C-alpha cells in the first residue's frame, strides 16, 4: 500500500460530560468504521460511556479527583447535582492538560479532534504541526446565531432580534452576560481551528445557514451527523451513555402495549435540575392532559432518608398510584435513543439540548420545546420557527447553567396546551408530525452511503490525508537536505 493511502491516526478529546462525550465518541466511531486508527482520550470512570461495540482504542488518564476535592470515581459532569461540584469537574478537566500534551507529544497523531472547552489544544496542535478540528455539540444554526449576537451589547437585556440573519428570528430574552463572557472567547478560539465538526446533517441546518456561516466567518464546518445513528442495533441504542436505571426490556414491553403516537416522552437532559415547584407544575400538566408518558427526572444525589421527602415535594399526592398504568417515571439515566425510536412515542418534551434535539429529529419525533440555558433558545427557533417540527411551551427564562432556581414558573396550563397541540391529531399537529417524519427519513439517508453526512466524512478524510501527505513530503525533503537520518519517514506510518 502506498503511504498516501495509509489509514489516518486520529485522537479525540471529549469534554467529560455526557452531552459532549457521547456524540463525539459516536463521531469517532464513524471514522473508525472507515478503517482509520482512532484513539479516545478519557479517564477511568468515563469508560462506562464507551461500549465494546466501539472499535477504537481508549487512552485513559488519571482523573485529578483529590486535587479539586471530589470523591474517587466522580469524573463526569453528569455525576454531580450541585453547581459547586460542577465547577470542580470543570477545574479537574482543565488539569488534564499536561498529561494530554505529554501523550500527544510522545506519539503525535495526524489530526486531533477536541472539545472547544479545551482551547489550549490550539497551541499544542500548532506546535506539533497537525490539524485541529473542534467539536462543541452545537448546531451550525446556533453557532451562526451566537456569532451574530456578538455584535450586540453584552449588557443588553429583554427581547431581541438576531441581527444579520437569514431568517427573522426574535427571542423573548437575551443570553445572560456571564454566559456570553464564557462562551464567546471559546468560540473565537474555535474559529482559529481547521474546522468545526457538527453533529447534524446539512438538510436540517439548511444551505442558507451553511452559506451564511462561510460568508461571515470564512471558516470550515463539516456536518457528519446525526451521531446517534452510529448506533444501529437495539442493543447499541440501549447502551448509548450510562447504564439505564430501568430494565430496557421492561421499558420496551410497556411501550409495546401502547398505541402508535400515544406517549409523550419528557426529559430535560442529564444535568437539568428543575426546582420542586416546577416539577410539580409538570406533573399536574401531565395528569390533566391524560396522555401516556415516560418522564425522566435526574436523580438528586443526597441522603437516602431525604429521597422520599423530596419525591413528595414535587409530585401531587397519589400521582404515581393514579397514573401507574398510564406512565412511567424514571429517576436517573434512561435509554433515550431506544425510547424515541419506538412507534408509541408521539412527542418529546425537551430542553432543546442539541444532543437530545438531533436524536429526536433522527427518530422522526416532533418536539415540545422548553429551553433552559446555553444555546438551547437558538435550537428552539430552528425547531419551531425555521423547520416547523415542534411547538414552544413558552419558556423565556434564559439561565447561565443547568443548576438554577427559577424566577418564573412555566405553569401547568401552558405545558398542557403545548402537549395537546402536538398530540391532539388536529391539522396543525398532523402537519408538524409529517414534517418531523420527513426529517427523520432524511437524517437516516444522510449517514448512509451517498448521503450528505457520509459524503462530508469522505471529503474530510480526503482533506486530512492531503494535509498529512503534504507534511510527510515536507519532512522527507527536510531529511534529505539535512541527510540527518537514514531511517525512512514512511516507517513512522507502518501498515
Same domain, 76 and 114: yes
Exposed / middle / buried, residue 334 (Cβ in 10 Å: 0-12, 13-18, 19+): buried
What span, in angstroms and rounded, lies between the C-alpha atoms of 218 and 227? 25
Chain length of the chain = 495
d(CA 95, CA 89) in angstroms, rounded, equals 10
Q: Is residue 339 domain-shared with residue 458, that is, in the same domain?
A: no
Give the number of other CB atoms < 10 A from CB of residue 360. Answer: 29
**Which of 428, 446, 464 marks a domain boundary?**
446
Quote the number of domains for the chain: 2
Placement of cell 462506562 in the chain: 48
Judge whether 273 lies within some domain: yes
Residue 233 falls inside a structural domain: no
Quick one: 185 and 136 in the same domain?
A: yes
State the pTM of this model. 0.91
Residues 154, 52: one domain? Answer: yes
CA 216 to chain centre: 24
Q: Angle formed by the axes of helices 427-447 and 354-363, to 10°?
A: 100
Shared domain check, 288 and 151: no
CATH number, domain of 188, equals 3.40.50.2000
Q: Is 236 among the domain residues?
A: no
Q: Are residues 126 and 22 in the same domain?
A: yes
CA distance 355 to 139: 10
- 174 and 127 in a common domain: yes
Half-sphere exposure of 318 (CA within 13 A, CB side): 1
Q: Does residue 235 fall inside a structural domain?
A: no
- The C-alpha cell at 43 is 479517564
Instruction: Classify 407 as helix, strand or coil.
Output: coil
- Residue 69, sorted as left (phi over 0), alpha (psi -120 to 50) or beta, turns out to be left
Helix (H/G/I), strand (E/B), else coil: 403: strand
Evaluate whether residue 234 is within a structural domain.
no
Whether residues 204 and 256 fall in one domain: no
Q: Work out whether strand 221-223 and strand 195-198 pair parallel, antiparallel, or are unpaired.
A: parallel
Phi-psi region of 114 (alpha: psi -120 to 50; beta: other; left: phi over 0): beta
Alpha helix locations (H) across 244-335?
Answer: 248-256, 276-289, 304-314, 319-322
One domain, residues 12 and 104:
yes
Q: Locate cell 479517564: which residue? A: 43
Residue with cell 442495533: 233
- Claim to verify: residue 488 and residue 400 sit in the same structural domain: no
**How do the pLDDT tens digits run along the chain, 495 residues long?**
566 778 999 999 999 998 899 999 999 999 999 999 999 999 999 987 776 556 899 999 999 999 999 999 999 888 887 778 888 999 999 999 999 999 999 999 999 999 999 999 999 999 999 999 999 999 999 999 999 999 898 877 888 999 999 999 999 989 999 999 999 999 999 999 999 999 999 999 999 999 999 999 999 999 999 999 988 777 777 777 777 778 888 899 999 999 999 999 999 987 788 889 999 999 999 999 999 999 999 876 544 445 555 545 789 999 999 998 899 999 888 999 999 999 999 999 999 999 999 999 999 999 999 999 989 999 999 999 999 999 999 999 898 776 666 778 999 999 999 999 999 989 999 999 999 999 999 999 999 999 999 999 999 999 999 999 988 877 777 777 765 444 444 444 443
Catalytic residues: 20, 115
Say yes or no: 348 and 478 in one domain: no
Q: For residues 386 and 400, what is the distance between their CA atoms, to the nearest angstrom?
A: 25
Residue 473 lies in a domain: yes
Q: Are residues 409 and 362 in the same domain?
A: yes
Determine the structural domain holding residue 294 and report its residue range.
Answer: 241-446
Amino acid at each position: 500500500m502506498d503511504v498516501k493511502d495509509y489509514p489516518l491516526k486520529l485522537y479525540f478529546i471529549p469534554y467529560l460530560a455526557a452531552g459532549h462525550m457521547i456524540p463525539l465518541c459516536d463521531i469517532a466511531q464513524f471514522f473508525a468504521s472507515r478503517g482509520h486508527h482512532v484513539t479516545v482520550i478519557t479517564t477511568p470512570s468515563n469508560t462506562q460511556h464507551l461500549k465494546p461495540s466501539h472499535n477504537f482504542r481508549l487512552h485513559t488518564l488519571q482523573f485529578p479527583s483529590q486535587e479539586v476535592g471530589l470523591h474517587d470515581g466522580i469524573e463526569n459532569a453528569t455525576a454531580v447535582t450541585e453547581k459547586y461540584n460542577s465547577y470542580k469537574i470543570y477545574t479537574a478537566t482543565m488539569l488534564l492538560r499536561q498529561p494530554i500534551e505529554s501523550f500527544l507529544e510522545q506519539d503525535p497523531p495526524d489530526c486531533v479532534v477536541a472539545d472547544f472547552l479545551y482551547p489550549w489544544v490550539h497551541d499544542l496542535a500548532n506546535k506539533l504541526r497537525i490539524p485541529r478540528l473542534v467539536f462543541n455539540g452545537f448546531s451550525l444554526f446556533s453557532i451562526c446565531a451566537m456569532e451574530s449576537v456578538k455584535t450586540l451589547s453584552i449588557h443588553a437585556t429583554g427581547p431581541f432580534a438576531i441581527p444579520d440573519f437569514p431568517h427573522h428570528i426574535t427571542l423573548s430574552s437575551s443570553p445572560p452576560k456571564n454566559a456570553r463572557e464564557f462562551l464567546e472567547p471559546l468560540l473565537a478560539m474555535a474559529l482559529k481551528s481547521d474546522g468545526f465538526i457538527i453533529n447534524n446533517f446539512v438538510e436540517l441546518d439548511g444551505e442558507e445557514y451553511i452559506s451564511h456561516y462561510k460568508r461571515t466567518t470564512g471558516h470550515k464546518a463539516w456536518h457528519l451527523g446525526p451521531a446517534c445513528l452510529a448506533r444501529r442495533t437495539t442493543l447499541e441504542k440501549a447502551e448509548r451513555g450510562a447504564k439505564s436505571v430501568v430494565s430496557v426490556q421492561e421499558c420496551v414491553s410497556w411501550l409495546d402495549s401502547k398505541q402508535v403516537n400515544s406517549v409523550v416522552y419528557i426529559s430535560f437532559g442529564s444535568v437539568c435540575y428543575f426546582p420542586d415547584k416546577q416539577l410539580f407544575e409538570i406533573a399536574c400538566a401531565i395528569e390533566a392532559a391524560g396522555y401516556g408518558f415516560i418522564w425522566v427526572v435526574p436523580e438528586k444525589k443526597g441522603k437516602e432518608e431525604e429521597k422520599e421527602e423530596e419525591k413528595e415535594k414535587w409530585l401531587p399526592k397519589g400521582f404515581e398510584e393514579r397514573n401507574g398504568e398510564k406512565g412511567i417515571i424514571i429517576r436517573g439515566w434512561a435509554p433515550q435513543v431506544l425510547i424515541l425510536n419506538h412507534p408509541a412515542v408521539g412527542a418529546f418534551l425537551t430542553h432543546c439540548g442539541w444532543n437530545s434535539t438531533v436524536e429526536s429529529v433522527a427518530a422522526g419525533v416532533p418536539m415540545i420545546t422548553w429551553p433552559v440555558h446555553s444555546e438551547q433558545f437558538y435550537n428552539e427557533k430552528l425547531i419551531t420557527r425555521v423547520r416547523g417540527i415542534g411547538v414552544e411551551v413558552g419558556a423565556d427564562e434564559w439561565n447561565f447553567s443547568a443548576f438554577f432556581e427559577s424566577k418564573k414558573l412555566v405553569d401547568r396550563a401552558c405545558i398542557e396546551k403545548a402537549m395537546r397541540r402536538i398530540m391532539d391529531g388536529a391539522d396543525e399537529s398532523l402537519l408538524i408530525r409529517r414534517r418531523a417524519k420527513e426529517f427523520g427519513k432524511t437524517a437516516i439517508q444522510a449517514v448512509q452511503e451517498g448521503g450528505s453526512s457520509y459524503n462530508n466524512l469522505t471529503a474530510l478524510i480526503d482533506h486530512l490525508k492531503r494535509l498529512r501527505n503534504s507534511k510527510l513530503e515536507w519532512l522527507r525533503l527536510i531529511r534529505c537536505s539535512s541527510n540527518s537520518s537514514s531511517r525512512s519517514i514512511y516507517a513512522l506510518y507502518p501498515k
